Amino acid sequence: VRRPKGQTLPAGQTEPTFGPCARLDYELELGIWIGQGNDLGDAIPVSEAGEHIAGFCLLNDWSARDIQAWEYQPLGPFLSKSFITSISPWVVTAEALEPFRRAQPARPEGDPQPLAYLLDPKDQGQGALDIELEVLLLTQGMREQNLPAHRLGLSNSLNMYWTAAQLVAHHSVNGCQLQSGDLFGSGTLSGPDRSQLGSLLEITEGGKHPIELASGEVRKFLEDGDEIILRARCTREGYASIGFGECRGKVVAAR
């Protein structure tokens, strides 16, 4: 993962500068692979969206937080996200994950209900997936000291605010044409507890609270030589355990 360059606005300055990202981060996500697409102009109903999903993978949506902070108003994320995305090595089919489907968790009290085009009783009853998700950090200092990787977070895909079917339905509702092989990112899969957070931005609260590592190193954001490892596993009594393979990425210096 080559450290990206871009425009940032240093603290206390009024003019942007150009240079390497200083606040490089990861995001723990699921990838959703489209199998069957749709015709241009035709929306995919949420009740049929599952038929268009071929399978799932792990996805690391690498993020340059300092570049993102400068560019997102008024344009939204652009160069802060487009430099690289990492995925795990194979597609876990939707059929293989059938035993691990669950009811979509209730929304927090006070949150608005989705509009009708995003609601389907069957999807609400079994549209969520029970997948354990783990993020590990391996630094150069850990390698030199023969230390194991440090767990940054242990989350679950049940923390998805929307089901995969809802994501597909919403993406196509304006007639956008999806094609076989298109890849969706779920968004960061953080849970309610501190141990379940899916990015350093959340864990360190924007760099205010650095992580102390067994190697004696501290981290606010990722440094050159740091490696992020994503893992996922589905387990249920009476069924074979399913893994996703590792999604790994090692940061190297900007050119």
pLDDT tens digits for 119-171? 999 999 999 999 999 999 999 999 999 999 999 999 999 999 999 999 999 99
CATH of the domain at 231: 3.90.850.10
Say whether pTM exceeds 0.85. Answer: yes
Residue 7 domain flag: no
Q: How high is the pLDDT of residue 184? A: 98
Residue 28 domain flag: yes
* pLDDT surpassing 90 at residue 73: no
Is-contact 59 30, C-beta < 8 A? yes
Q: Average pLDDT in the 172-198 region?
A: 97
Q: How high is the pLDDT of residue 238? A: 96
Q: How high is the pLDDT of residue 74? A: 79
Residue 9 domain flag: no
Domain that holds residue 218: 19-105+118-250
* pLDDT surpassing 90 at residue 106: yes
Tokens of 89: 């090595």
The answer for residues whose C-beta is within 8 angstroms of residue 171's C-beta and 6 or more apart is 178, 184
Q: How high is the pLDDT of residue 11? A: 87
Tokens of 175: 């007639």
Structural domain count, the chain: 1
| Run of H or E including 93 | strand 92-93
CA atoms within 13 A on the CB side of 48: 9
Distances (CA, A) of 243 to 27, 76, 121: 19, 34, 29
Residue 11 domain flag: no
Residue 129 domain flag: yes
Residue 233 domain flag: yes
Residue 255 domain flag: no
Distances (CA, A) of 103 to 171, 194, 195: 22, 24, 23
Residue 144 domain flag: yes
- Closest to 184 in 3D by CA, of 49, 42, 11: 49
Reduced DSSP (H G I as helix, E B as strand, rest coil) percent helix, strand, coil of the chain, to 5: 20, 30, 50
